[in-house]
Amino acid sequence: MLNACFSLENKEILSSIQKLLQKKFPDIISCTRPHGLHITLMEFLSLSFNYGQHTNKKRLLHTLFHESIGQYDKIIVQTLEDEKNIRIDFKELRVMPNAILVVGTDNGAFKRVRDNLINKIDLIPGTKAPPQIIYSTICRYASEGDLQTIRDFVQGLKVSFVEIVKEFRLTHESVPPASEFEIVKTYPLGTLTE
């Protein structure tokens, strides 16, 4: 996965929102751990895709990832070499059927980077298409709950912060969602902010 990390200050903001959600819906909400909070750019492997009859899916995914990393790395470096720091304004919490997201906007830089990568990289079959929004999954559902009740509660919560993306991280998850992962490489952006 190619993603960006939140600043410590913004992780604290998100953590306070998570605590409110967990307190209101203790049996329904499962929050992303603070160290796993990230802004998703795109995935290179789908952890939920069935890659055939393999006895050790974790090992297979690890092998597929590391076999592809050389090709991906060169393209990522070329794509990001002229990119400046990216300002993202996060002002929305969005309740989805499978998760609660914090959603942001930028000046089009994330879309440009995603489009450039997709045009140059042959993704491994089964990989999810890159998202069309800028987001971070802050909570998932541990059990079923009434989505409208959750939406009504979330609508009363306010979020407003700015994240300056100064680098992207290529990560390899061993335990999804972002519970355990290794940072394979970081890709610093320019010093100016778009």
Q: Which one, of 42, 31, 190, 191, lies nearest residue 102 by Cα? A: 31
| Average pLDDT over every residue of 77-91 | 94
| DSSP labels, 22-55 | HHHSTTTEEEPPGGG-EEEEE-SS-TTS--SS-S
pLDDT for position 123: 75
Range 80-83, long-range pairs (CB < 8 A, 24+ positions): 80/113, 80/168, 80/187, 80/189, 82/190, 83/109, 83/113, 83/189, 83/190, 83/194
- In this predicted structure, the answer to whether residue 57 has a pLDDT above a threshold of 80 is no
For strand 180-188 and strand 167-175, is the pairing parallel, antiparallel, or unpaired? antiparallel
Q: Which CATH superfamily is domain 2-188 in?
A: Cyclic phosphodiesterase (3.90.1140.10)
- In this predicted structure, the answer to whether residue 17 has a pLDDT above a threshold of 90 is yes
The number of residues making up the chain comes to 194
- In this predicted structure, the answer to whether residue 157 has a pLDDT above a threshold of 70 is yes
- In this predicted structure, the answer to whether residue 3 has a pLDDT above a threshold of 70 is yes
3-state secondary structure of 10: helix
Q: Which residue has the higher pLDDT, 90 or 177?
A: 90
Q: Which residue has the tokens 């050790």?
A: 56
Neighbour tally for 165: CB within 10 Å: 27
What integer best gives the mean pLDDT of the chain? 86
Q: Which residue has the higher pLDDT, 9 or 180?
A: 9
For residues 122 and 15, is the Cβ–Cβ distance under 8 A?
Answer: no
For strand 134-141 and strand 99-105, is the pairing parallel, antiparallel, or unpaired? antiparallel
Q: Which residue has the higher pLDDT, 33 or 65?
A: 33
Confidence band (pLDDT; 50, 70, 90) for 68?
low
- In this predicted structure, the answer to whether residue 149 has a pLDDT above a threshold of 90 is yes
What is the Cα–Cα distance from 56 to 162, expressed in whole angstroms? Answer: 41
What is the Cα–Cα distance from 47 to 50, expressed in whole angstroms? Answer: 8
- In this predicted structure, the answer to whether residue 102 has a pLDDT above a threshold of 60 is yes
* Cα angle: 47, vertex 165, 92; to 5 degrees: 75
* Cα angle: 35, vertex 147, 138; to 5 degrees: 10
pLDDT for position 96: 96
| Average pLDDT over every residue of 11-22 | 97
pLDDT for position 147: 94
pLDDT for position 84: 94
pLDDT for position 184: 84
Domain spans in the chain, listed from the N-terminal domain onward: 2-188
Q: Which residue has the higher pLDDT, 129 or 173?
A: 129
Confidence band (pLDDT; 50, 70, 90) for 148?
very high
Say if residue 155 is exposed, middle or buried (CB neighbours under 10 Å; 0-12, 13-18, 19+): exposed
Q: Compute the Cα dihedral for 184, 49, 42, 20 and give only its sign.
A: negative
